[in-house]
Structure 1
């Protein structure tokens, strides 16, 4: 492999890329991204499942609303949400994914920036809707409280936060021993308690989604819908 070319996507299971793209990064390195295609995995099913998660956020999207997607990954969620007429901002800690997203999906309506869930640094009262899909579990428990507080403060009055979390497979909140990328999975009681610390209990709804993955694994994911009243 050419040492000057950084390859992403393809058989990498950590990030989902939907489109091929080759570009020169801000550091001058050539980045070659191939659409994710994992041997033995039904990619059509995988892509549908990942896009469908954004439909929980889309329930609250309307033309003219300002939406934050954090973390945004490779940016494909922008297509799902912008079809509803919103102004979209995606943020992610991975600089190359942000560059890829801006080059593949970026428009006046869709912009992408670097951001760290551990240090969100969001402006107050800026967004009508915030989606944090597959983000919370990627930071340690000690950072999650401040993150939800930052999301609450970044919402305008009447705004909505939609945040997902897989149910902790061990039965105890903390790292998933079988997934090194999941640093802070939560039990359902702990997930609800986290949201109730920052939103009125009567303004929080929790949706439970159970599914069988194409690899045969049973999963249970929680979606917290928090209204900033």
Structure 2
């Protein structure tokens, strides 16, 4: 079956910068889930829930898309994962039923942010932790003059922080950028203390690594603040290169070329017809 990528959800046949950034976020979340009951919302195709299940006691993967949930049930058959159709504004779990809530790149896909945070607070246990990521509207959209068709309401950093601190006493804001195949996550407070350079034997210069994404770790209890971290994307990019090389071999093969030659008259007639 042919796999298609709409750009809305990350799939495990995608090997790019987006994959590296998502995997870095889940690597950070892994520091909080050992022996815990975890809610991953929106779980998409389920790879993140699966990753969390290796340390967590149980994981609920919740997504609004029924097809995504059905595929996840087939793909990730583990005793400590349950995939459920649900919405961030009406989470299908009992009050105080989970220890950790993970929600990556979700809040910008709707405008009911307050309702989402209320629901997260409802299902979290008193000492629970939420980990939420979202684009920084200034760097992600404004600076690049970019519009993501799937985003309904993006937040500026101040708006995101105001929303988080309204519901949680303790929080840490991390910023995430991408540079030369690596995801870089830095504490928002000391981000400007790190500088990036590039060059060769002839010259060197500073380069910019804009923090297009924000990650909030929040709780009403004390928790261990996360260190600055780097996710090495070498394996992901290597897989991307391998996939491209396989495609190139197909396109350059004699059977493919012969097939294209045979199909060319049909394609030409279709153009004339329409």
TM-score by length of 1: 0.75
Corresponding residue SS for 1:169: helix
Match of 1:88 among 54, 59, 76: 59
Q: How does 1:13-24 map to 2 (within 5 A)?
A: 13-18=7-12
Match of 1:75 among 46, 58, 65: 46
Question: What is the rounded CA distance, in whole Å, between the counterparts of 1:48 and 1:177 in structure 2?
Answer: 21
Question: What is the rounded CA distance, in whole Å, between the counterparts of 2:156 and 2:127 in structure 1?
Answer: 28
Contact 1:125–1:155 (Cα < 8 Å) also in 2: yes
- Gaps in structure 1 of 5+ consecutive residues: 1-6, 19-34, 37-42
| Aligned residues between the structures | 192
Corresponding residue SS for 2:96: coil
Larger fraction in helix: 2
Deviation at 1:228, TM superposition (A): 2.9
1:187 aligns with 2:156: yes
Question: What is the rounded CA distance, in whole Å, between the counterparts of 1:194 and 1:78 in structure 2?
Answer: 25
Contact 1:152–1:228 (Cα < 8 Å) also in 2: no
1:148 aligns with 2:117: yes
1:207 aligns with 2:186: no
Question: What is the rounded CA distance, in whole Å, between the counterparts of 2:95 and 2:156 in structure 1?
Answer: 29
Question: What is the rounded CA distance, in whole Å, between the counterparts of 1:46 and 1:152 in structure 2?
Answer: 28
1:139 aligns with 2:110: yes
Higher relative contact order (CA 8 A, sep 6+): 2
Larger of the two Rg values belongs to structure: 2
Per the alignment, residue 215 of structure 2 pairs with: 223
Q: How does 1:12-51 map to 2 (within 5 A)?
A: 12-18=6-12, 35-36=13-14, 43=15, 45-51=17-23
Question: What is the rounded CA distance, in whole Å, between the counterparts of 1:180 and 1:50 in structure 2?
Answer: 19
Per the alignment, residue 260 of structure 2 pairs with: none
TM-score by length of 2: 0.63
Deviation at 1:177, TM superposition (A): 6.1
Corresponding residue SS for 2:151: coil
Q: Evaluate the alpha carbon distance shift between residue 172 and residue 47 of structure 1 in structure 2; reply closer, same or farther with a 3 A threshold.
A: closer
Deviation at 1:170, TM superposition (A): 7.5
